[in-house]
Amino acid sequence: MRHFIFFPPEASEYARHIDWIYFGLIGISVIIVGLVVVLMVSFGIRYRRGSPAVRGRLPEWVSRDVEIGWTVGTLFAFVFIFWFAAATFITTIGATPNALEIHVVGKQWMWKIEHPNGVREINELHVPVNVPVRLVMISQDVIHSFFLPALRIKQDVLPGRYTSESFTADKTGIYNLFCAEYCGTDHARMGGRIDIMTKPDYQKWLDAQPGAHNLAEKGRQLFVRLGCAGCHFEKGHTRAPDLAGVYGSYVRLANGRTVRADEAYLRDSILQPARDIVAGYQPIMPSFKGTVSEDQIFDLVAFIKSYSGSGEAIK
Amino acid sequence: MTDAVLGDTLPHDVTTFDKGYLGDGHTLRSWLFTTDHKRIAILYAVTITIFFFIGGIAIALVRIELVTPAQDFVTADEYNRLFTLHGIVMVWFFLVPSIPTTFGNFLLPMMIGARDLAFPKLNLFSWYLTIIGGALTIYMLLAGGVDTGWTFYTPYSSIYSNSHVIAAAMAVFVAGFGTIATGVNFITTIHTMRAPGMTWFRLPLFVWAMYTVSVVIVLATPVLAMTLLLMTLERFFGVPIFNPNEGGDPLLFQHLFWFYSHPAVYIMILPAMGVVSEVIPCFARRRLFGYDFMVYALIAISVIGFFVWGHHMFVSGQSAYANLVFSFLSFIVAVPSAIKVFNWTATLYRGQITYESPMLYSFGFVGLFTIGGLTGLFLASIPIDIHATDTYFVIAHFHYVMVGGTVSAFFAALHFWWPKITGRMYPEAWARFAAILMFFGFNFTFFPQFIMGWAGMPRRYGSYPPEFQIYHVLSSAGAAVLAIAYLMPLAYLTWSLRWGRRAPDNPWRATGLEWQTSSPPPTHNFEKLPIVENEPYDYHPRGYVDQEHEAAGTAESPQKGGEQR
B2 alpha-carbon distance from chain centroid: 27
Quick: pLDDT tens for A16-38: 999 999 999 999 999 999 999 99
Instruction: Check CB contact under 8 Å for B382 and A52.
Output: no
Q: What is the pLDDT of residue B16?
A: 53
- Candidate from B345, B371, B561 with C-beta closest to A40: B345
Describe the crossing of helices B469-499 and B428-454 by its angle, rounded to 10 degrees: 160
Chain B contacts of A82, Cβ < 8 Å? 327-328, 331, 380-381
Q: Which residues, in sequence order, are CB contacts of A72 under 8 Å at separation 6+?
A: none
Pairing status of strand A192-197 against strand A163-167 = unpaired
Measured in angstroms, the CA of A121 and the nearest CA of chain B are apart by 21
CB B170 within 8 A of CB B114: no
Q: Which residues, in sequence order, are CB contacts of A232 under 8 Å at separation 6+?
A: A223, A240, A241, A242, A243
Where do the DSSP E strands lie in B227-347?
none
Measured in angstroms, the CA of B212 and the nearest CA of chain A are apart by 21
Quick: pLDDT tens for A223-233: 888 888 888 88
Q: Using CA atoms, how far apart are residues B370 and B334, in angstroms rounded to an integer? A: 11
DSSP β-bridge partners for residue A138: A105
Q: Residue B57: how many CB atoms within 10 A of its CB?
A: 15
Instruction: Check CB contact under 8 Å for A47 and B353.
Output: yes
> Mean pLDDT of all residues in chain A?
87
- Candidate from A49, A187, A289 with C-beta closest to B354: A49
3-class secondary structure per residue, B425-450: CCCHHHHHHHHHHHHHHHHHHHHHHH
Mutation site, B315, B452, B564, interface A, largest A CB count within 10 A: B315
Does A2 reach chain B within 8 Å, measured CB to CB? yes
H-run or E-run covering A114: strand A110-114
Quick: pLDDT tens for A265-296: 888 888 888 888 888 888 888 888 888 888 88
Q: Using CA atoms, how far apart are residues B340 and B431, in angstroms rounded to an integer? A: 26
Q: Using CA atoms, how far apart are residues B405 and B413, in angstroms rounded to an integer? A: 12
Which amino acid would we find at residue A2?
A: R
Instruction: Check CB contact under 8 Å for B387 and A75.
Output: no
Residue A251 has phi, psi (to 5 degrees) of: -115, 130
If one compares A149 and B3, the residue with the highest pLDDT of the two is A149
**How many A-B residue pairs are in contact by the CB < 8 A criterion?**
284
For B288, nearest residue in chain A (alpha carbons): A63
Instruction: Check CB contact under 8 Å for B290 and A63.
Output: yes
* ipTM of predicted complex: 0.88
CB B196 within 8 A of CB B531: yes
Judge residue A115's burial from the number of C-beta atoms within 10 Å of its C-beta, 0-12 exposed, 13-18 middle, 19 or more buried: buried
- Candidate from B250, B335, B464 with C-beta closest to A159: B250
Q: What is the pLDDT of residue A310?
A: 58
Instruction: Check CB contact under 8 Å for B390 and A158.
Output: no
Q: What is the pLDDT of residue B545?
A: 58
| Per-residue confidence in pLDDT tens, chain B, 565 aa | 344 344 444 444 445 566 788 888 888 999 999 999 999 999 999 999 999 999 999 999 999 999 999 999 999 999 999 999 999 999 999 999 999 999 999 999 999 999 999 999 999 999 999 999 999 999 999 999 999 999 999 999 999 999 999 999 999 999 999 999 999 999 999 999 999 999 999 999 999 999 999 999 999 999 999 999 999 999 999 999 999 888 899 999 999 999 999 999 999 999 999 999 999 999 999 999 999 999 999 999 999 999 999 999 999 989 999 999 999 999 999 999 999 999 999 999 989 999 999 999 999 999 999 999 999 999 999 999 999 999 999 999 999 999 999 999 999 999 999 999 999 999 999 999 999 999 999 999 999 999 999 999 999 999 999 999 999 999 999 999 999 999 999 999 999 999 999 999 999 999 999 999 998 999 999 988 899 988 899 887 777 655 444 444 443 433 333 333 3
Instruction: Check CB contact under 8 Å for B351 and A163.
Output: no
Which amino acid would we find at residue B564?
A: Q
Instruction: Check CB contact under 8 Å for B317 and A156.
Output: yes
DSSP β-bridge partners for residue A122: A112
Using only C-alpha atoms, what is the Rg of chain B? 24
Q: Using CA atoms, how far apart are residues A237 and A246, in angstroms rounded to an integer? A: 14
Residue B317's nearest CA partner among A263, A162, A64, A23 is A162
Q: Using CA atoms, how far apart are residues B240 and A158, in angstroms rounded to an integer? A: 16
Interface of A with B in 273-302 (CB under 8 A): 289
For B552, nearest residue in chain A (alpha carbons): A52
Q: Using CA atoms, how far apart are residues B349 and A55, in angstroms rounded to an integer? A: 9
